[in-house]
Amino acid sequence: MITYPFAFLTSAAIAVSFRSPRGVILWSGFCGLVAWAGFDLALRAGAPDPAAVLVGALALGTAAEVLARRLHQPAILFVIPGLFPLVPGILAYRGMLLLSQSRLAEGAWQLARALLIAGILAASGGTGPAGARTAPARGRRRAGARAARMERIDRRGERREARGDLLHLPDVNVVSEGQAVA
């Protein structure tokens, strides 16, 4: 539990160092907290490290997409700082240390685990937002609603184009080259 505030502070500090807008910095810290909470809860449930990182990254992606919609900001402002608590830096450090001490098998294993976790972070970074984007945004109409509304206007007898912003023009005979006008 003591790691949760540090996950928040780490993500907020990264957002500050990346010069994120002021209104986004605390929310970026919140996304790091969500990512760490997903990771920690999955570990406590008995999941292995890579699966726990996947859970944390999916939670982060979903939270970032929801915040991006609410705050009208790009999701990347929340995703990048939120990933930092999940980065396997200590595994990579231990792997390099073990390699420098000529313990090749252990070092290679640590580096392989770090690479696996980094790959999971990279792959799942877009999965959460893609899943969150499939849900319709609250307060918005469906994709064809405007065209259907304009179609209703046509049924009432008003003649308009599908976009609704064009004036009604009288029908004009179009003549191509080589044809005579009757």
Q: CA 53, CA 115: separation in Å to the nearest integer? A: 12
What is the pLDDT at residue 1? 73
Token pair recorded at residue 49: 């490290």
What is the mean pLDDT, run by run of 10 residues, along the chain of 182 residues?
90 95 95 95 95 94 92 92 92 95 95 93 71 57 54 53 50 59 56
Using CA atoms, how far apart are residues 30 and 118, in angstroms rounded to an integer?
21
Report yes or no on whether pTM surpasses 0.85: no
Q: Residue 165's pLDDT is what?
A: 46
Q: What is the pLDDT of residue 10?
A: 94
What local confidence, expressed as pLDDT, does residue 124 receive? 81
What pLDDT, on a 0 to 100 scale, did the predictor assign at position 90? Answer: 92
Give the pLDDT confidence score for residue 91 in this predicted structure: 92
pLDDT score of 180: 58
Residue ranges per structural domain of the chain: 1-86+126-162, 88-119
Distance of CA 80 to the CA centre of its chain: 10
Structure tokens at 142: 């469906």
CB atoms within 10 A of CB 20: 20
Q: Are 42 and 35 in contact (CB under 8 A)?
A: no
